[in-house]
Structure 1
Amino acid sequence: MFFACQKKKNNTEKITNNKVEIEKIINAADLFYKNKQLDSAFYLYNKARANCNPNEDAKSYVYCMYYMAEIQQDHEDFIGSTITATETFPFLNKITDSEYVWNIYSVLGRNYYYTYDYPNAIYYYSKAFILKSDRINKLEAKNNIAVIYIKQQKFNKALRIFLSISKEKIIQQNPAYYSKILDYIGHCYYRLKDPRALPYFQKSIEIKSEAKDQDGLGRTYYNLADYYKKYDAALSMKYAKLSYENFTAAGNIDDCLLSLKLIINNSSDIETKRNTLTYIKLVDSIYEVRQKAKNKFAKIKYDSKKEKIENLKLKAQKIKNELQIEKQERRNIISYVIIIIALCLIIFLYFYLTARANREKIEATYQSETRISKKLHDELANDVYHAMAFVENRNLSVEENNTHLLKKIDEIYSRTRNISKENNPVSNDQNYTSQLKEMISKFDNSNVNLLLNGLDTISWNKVDKTKKIAVYRAIQELLVNMKKHSEASLVAITFKEKDNNTIIINYADNGKGIDTSKMILKNGLHNMENRIHSIQGEIDIYSEFGKGFKVQIKFPL
């Protein structure tokens, strides 16, 4: 008992020491991140993440993954950033602090925004918004959704959100946030051709000038350059150059390119050439730096994962070698038992499936014979009897009687052919569609108006032959049932193929219907249900007495 307690204590100490070590690594990574040394920060966050067990310390794991995703996003590796962030999903429900979850949703929202996947961006910003978080986080998520509306040209929706945010006291007390909101409001008014745009831009410049926010000034001057582009080319150029100067001073190379592009469009030939060369040089420089960063961060993650996998393999191999001799005999015994059980199971399944197939074959034959027998009785026996009575009681030498008898015999022959055709084998080749149409058309007469839609849109060549036969017979059963019982004057059959490789057939008539609560499937309807279930399909019947009869059949392609 003493040794067991001692072992548990050692394990606890090991876990505690490991957590302390992880916290030291994270603190060092945070310091590098704060000092903009992102390569070193990423390396240490990844190291801490690799040593962390997310099931026991989900908070530290998610924290590291979030900052790794942020660094990848900062270097425009949006796919890598998204992969890193989504790896935290299985552990988010283990964290009580919503701030960590909010960070993950926000970084995903930005990744999708930067890659122009606006619906997914709105989805993750909305998830961030509904979390129990502080007010400033909720307003930021709300702001991000409005920015996407601008990208989607939904300026009225965006404007309503920005105006509501601008009234928040917490925003008005923060010059950086407030001036950005004013910029967005001005931009929305400008895109809606509303003259109220200009005062908002001017107010934003006042706030940013006082706060010496060069990056923010660059953004507002850019908006003003865009605002005056169509009305005053000289003033537009002036603001474009001011935007470029402020972005350059703030070290914002991405937005420098936007301003420089605007300047190029309004420059003379000589200036255009010089500015274009500067633009190309900046683009090449940014691309090279970011590509190197992407490769470096991917290699750091890969090397760490590879090292961890190799260590696990070595430990597993060691354990395997130690237990190999002891387990060999046990494995042999288990193998023999499994083989015996498998053989017994195979034999049992063989006899069971054979017996079931025979039962189903007998049942299907019985049902088919019963149905044919009933048709012969209902549709032919009475007519034959009347024909015989007519022969006995009439003088066939009279031409009128003779003609009547021949007509009666012809009718009996036609009905016999119809019954024969109904039970003929169904074609599964390219003539299947035309054969199905021909069968359905036989029920379209002066008393019944039959509508058929979507039959030719189905990829019947991809459908298994047993399923085609089941569909043919099921529709045939429905139409026969309609003709016998429903007294319908209008029938509609619709075929539809869904994207998930599912075929849906909707049948509806305006007949007298049935009470489904008291309905017992018999004969044709019972056969139809068995056919659909045999092809892994589903069948639903909807009907009320006096309100028609509807059936939906659904089965996999």
Structure 2
Amino acid sequence: MSSVFAQKNEHHRYDDSISALNKEIKELIEIQDYEEAISALEKILVFYERANDSIGVAKSNYKLGFYNKKLDNYELAFKFYNDSFKIYSSLKDSIQAGRRLMEMSNIQRTLGDYIGSENIAIDALKYLEGTTDYKNIAGTYHSIAISKKEREDLNGAEEWNKKTLNLLKDTIIKKKIGKSNIITFLNTKANIQVKKQNYTEALQQYSALVKDTIIKNNNLQIARIKDNLGFAKWLNDSLDSESILLMKEALILRQRMDNVQGLIAGNVHLAKYYSSSDITKAIEYANAALENSKKLKNPISKIEALELLRSLKSRLNQRVDEEFDLYVSSTNQLKALQNKNRNIYEVTKYDFDKKEKENLKLASDNAQKDLQISKSQNQNLLLGFGILLVSLISIIVYYIQKQKARQKLKLSQLKERYQTETRLSKKVHDEVGNDIFYLMTQLENDPSLLEKNGLKLLDGLQNIYSKARDISREYTDIDTGDAFPEELLSLLNSFGNKEIKIITKQLEPTFWTPIDADLKSEVFRIVQELLTNMKKHSEASVAAVTFKKEARKLMIQYSDNGVGVGDEKLTLKSVENRIQVLKGVLTLDAQPDEGLQVSIIIPI
């Protein structure tokens, strides 16, 4: 009894401590004392870790990331977000895991690591898409659009910006995303047009935003739009008198709000404006941008101001030694920050990929157990198989007749078609016709077989059906459009039956969209040949086929648990030829009684 009482007292003390610290943090945040708030949060994190409270630890890590970012402590913020992501992902909380990745993507983008930011954002969408968290889905689309814009992939930036804006067509989703975010997305749309030098379209967008009631009372956004509008007007027409008025009006607004990031951008724009008419004044604005950038711990703003200042001073033959030294140190600091954060996430991603492979193996083992159970069950009807078989053979015969009717093609095409028909006819005769004749002979000689060995006859019809289906599929056109994922999945499913389990991994809906139609067709044939080889030679009960994209490469992984063979006996010459034409790489791993593993990498 005393032990239970002691535990209750300990629990109460624990709750009281957490409650007191949370109250303290709230008061500190109200006065924007983020450093003390972080110190209190670290104490709460220790409490949750001792109590093995995973959700409490995940939330504390998130808050530590948030407030460290407020102080421009980007490395710590990234680390805490990453720790929070790992916990939420293990808890299968897709929305929270996706949000942490989006925040990590934003940090890398802020640090100028646009490729790293884009890769993390793509990973975030794997968690967010399919949920109702439209605000963060839109934010992730936007992050990708910005990264592509900064990397000068302007068509890609425009495409992702359109994906963002398309979400606004739904009134309910638009309300969830919020007015301020909508302004940002529309401003980005205009910024992309400026980069593409489509100034007329950009000016129309900026002007519409300035007049729109959506921007009312939002001085931060008003200053940003007016500054961008003025700069775009100057780029479009250097004699436009309104351009300088708009940029200076925006700068005054930002000074009143002490908007440091906005002051950097505004001063840079004004320095560029005066660079062709008054270099001395341009240098003043560039110096102002540099001084403001020193208030932030983000080196990228400092580097941009230094590059501009060095260029302007050089035109006046002024010494730039101090600026050069600061530029070098800032660049080194930025690269170190980018690499540290990249390494943090790469380790996490490696661990997650490793776990995913282990789960795939576990799924394969479970599938084998299911196969053993399914062998004792047969719920298909003999009549159903017979009807399907006749239908498929009719399709094949119709195809042959249709091919013979086309006699006005070129000689080379006729010859090729003749060879195809001969091969197809022989397959129908040898593989389907002979099996049907053998089955009919058995029934004719002993009609009682239907009652005695119904299941065995059913297995015979199943095999005939599979052969007819495979022949039909081998000579059927492939849909490489929007229906390709279903076409490929249908192929995989067609090789599965009660004897063979085919395993694959679900892909995101847009996985195949950017891939060329010809390459899709080749991928289809490669997979078909791998599975055909498996079915004919491997004696496998489980085969796994997975697809992955990485660094402009398509990776196909195939494995089965068949008998395995030596490399010299593999019947994959056709696959090798296709891979060679595609300038890809094929790796085989096959040992007797150890199954077959095939790794294919194709550039896309």
**TM-score (normalizing by structure 2):** 0.49
Deviation at 1:176, TM superposition (A): 2.2
Alignment match, 1:208: 254
In structure 2, how many angstroms separate the alpha carbons of the residues matched to 1:468 and 1:277? 75
**Residues 305, 42 of structure 1: CA spacing in aligned structure 2 closer, same or farther, 3 A cutoff?**
farther
CA separation in 2, counterparts of 1:93 and 1:296?
Answer: 24
Q: Give the CA RMSD over aligned residues.
A: 4.4
By how many angstroms is 1:272 displaced? 2.8
Gapped regions of structure 1 (runs ≥ 5): 1-19, 335-340, 369-422, 429-462, 471-498, 503-557
Matched residue, 2:150: 114
Q: Tell me, what secondary structure is at the counterpart of 2:197?
A: coil
Q: Does 1:174 align with 2:210?
A: no
Match of 1:466 among 400, 416, 421: 416
- Aligned to 1:250, the other structure's residue is in SS state coil
1:27 aligns with 2:63: no
Matched, 1:126 2:162: yes
**TM superposition shift of 1:154:** 1.7
Q: Does structure 1 residue 59 correspond to structure 2 residue 91? A: no
Counterpart-to-counterpart distance in 2, 1:222 and 1:297 = 33
Aligned to 1:555: none
Tell whether 2:191 aligns with 1:147.
yes
Q: CA deviation at 1:167?
A: 2.6
Contact 2:125/2:137 (CA < 8 Å) preserved in 1?
Answer: no
Residue 30 of structure 1: how far off its partner (Å):
1.9
* Structure 1 residues 75 and 316: alpha-carbon distance in aligned structure 2, compared to 1, 3 A threshold: farther
Q: 1:158 aligns with which of 171, 185, 202?
A: 202
The structure whose Rg is larger is 1
Sort the Cα spacing of 1:252 and 1:288 in 2 relative to 1 into closer, same or farther, 3 A.
closer
Alignment equivalent of 1:47, drawn from 62, 86, 108: 86
The code of the aligned residue for 2:348 comes to I
Give the C-alpha shift of residue 427 in structure 1: 6.0
Q: Decide whether aligned partners of structure 1 residues 98 and 293 sit closer, same or farther in structure 2, where only a CA change above 3 A counts.
A: closer
The residue type paired with residue 210 of structure 2 is S
Residues of 2 paired with 1:352 and 1:223: CA distance?
Answer: 69
Q: Please say if residues 46 and 301 of structure 1, whose CA atoms lie closer than 8 Å, have aligned partners that are also in contact.
A: no
Alignment partner of 2:331 out of 283, 296, 300? 283
2:80 partner letter: A
1:469/1:110 CA distance change after superposition, 3 Å: same
Residue among 279, 292, 295 paired with 1:249: 295
Secondary structure of 1:230's partner? coil
Note the alpha carbon deviations across 1:194-249, whole angstroms, 9 max, x for none.
01112112212222222222332222222111111111121112221122112222
Assess if the C-alpha contact under 8 Å between 1:75 and 1:294 holds in 2: no
Q: Distance in 1 between matches of 2:218 and 2:359?
A: 51
Identity within the alignment, %: 20
Give 1:188 shift: 1.5
TM-superposed CA distance for 1:273, in Å, is 3.9
The amino acid that maps onto 2:157 is A
Structure 2 unaligned regions, length at least 5: 1-51, 70-75, 169-173, 379-384, 421-515, 520-604
1:441 matched residue in structure 2: none
- The letter of the residue matching 1:62 is G
Alignment of 1:291-306 (within 5 A): 291-306=339-354
Q: 1:186 to 1:126 in 2, by over 3 A?
A: same
How has the CA–CA distance of structure 1 residues 352 and 240 changed in structure 2, closer, same or farther, with 3 Å as cutoff?
closer
The equivalent position to 1:70 in structure 2, one of 94, 101, 106, is 106
Q: Which amino acid aligns with 2:81?
A: F
**Partner residue in 1 for 2:263:** 217
Further displaced range: 266-275 or 254-263: 266-275
Distance in 2 between residues matched to 1:129 and 1:260, nearest whole Å = 35
Shift of 1:166: 1.9
Give, in angstroms, the shift of residue 75 of structure 1: 4.2
- Corresponding residue SS for 2:294: helix
> In structure 2, do the counterparts of structure 1 residues 126 and 25 end up closer, same or farther at CA, with 3 Å as the change threshold?
farther
**In structure 2, do the counterparts of structure 1 residues 87 and 260 end up closer, same or farther at CA, with 3 Å as the change threshold?**
closer
Q: CA deviation at 1:28?
A: 1.9
**Structure 1 residues 47, 21: closer, same or farther in 2, change over 3 A?**
farther
1:150·1:158 contact (CA, 8 Å) conserved in 2? yes
1:277-308 Cα distance to aligned partner (Å, 9 max, x none): 33233223312321232122111221233246
Rounded to whole Å, the distance in 2 between the matches of 1:214 and 1:248 is 10
CA distance in 2, matches of 1:69, 1:466: 53
**Residue 58 of structure 1, CA deviation:** 4.2
Return the alpha-carbon distance in structure 2 between the equivalents of residues 244 and 202 of structure 1.
Answer: 18
- Write out aligned runs for 1:426-441 (5 A): 428=412
TM-score (norm 1): 0.53
Displacement after TM superposition at 1:271 (Å): 1.3
Query: 1:296, 1:427 → 2: CA distance?
Result: 62
Give me the whole-angstrom Cα distance separating, in 2, the residues matched to 1:300 and 1:90.
16
- Cα distance change of structure 1 residues 25 and 310 upon mapping to structure 2, 3 Å threshold: farther
Could you say which residue in structure 1 is the equivalent of 2:283? 237
Q: 1:328 to 1:464 in 2, by over 3 A?
A: same
Contact 2:85 2:97 in 1 (8 A): no
Structure 2 residue 243 is matched with structure 1 residue 197: yes
Offset of 1:85 from its aligned partner? 3.1
How far residue 153 of structure 1 moved from its aligned partner, in angstroms, is 1.3
Which residue identity is paired with 1:271? Answer: R
Q: Deviations over 1:17-65 (max 9, x none)?
A: xxx9664344123212212222332332331343143xxx543343333
Please give the alpha-carbon distance, in whole angstroms, between the structure 2 residues aligned to 1:352 and 1:189.
66
- The one-letter code of the counterpart of 1:137 is N
Counterpart residue type for residue 416 of structure 2: T
Aligned to 1:432: none
Cα gap change, 1:85/1:25 in structure 2, threshold over 3 Å: closer, same or farther? farther
Asked whether the equivalents of residues 145 and 161 of structure 2 are also in contact (C-alpha less than 8 Å), the reply is yes
- Does the Cα contact within 8 Å between 1:189 and 1:195 map onto a contact in 2? no
The 5 Å alignment of 1:136-535 reads 136-169=180-213, 171-191=215-235, 192-193=237-238, 194-267=240-313, 271-307=319-355, 309-310=357-358, 313=361, 428=412, 466=416
Q: Could you tell me how far apart the structure 1 residues matched to 2:220 and 2:334 are? A: 27
Q: Deviations over 1:450-474 (max 9, x none)?
A: xxxxxxxxxxxxx89637999xxxx
1:135 aligns with 2:179: yes
Aligned length: 348
Structure 1 residue 109 displacement after superposition: 1.8
Distance 1:216 1:65, change over 3 A: closer
For the Cα contact (< 8 Å) 1:50–1:305, is it kept in 2? no
- The one-letter amino acid paired with 1:147 is N
Structure 1 position 142, deviation (Å): 0.7
Letter in 1 for 2:61: A
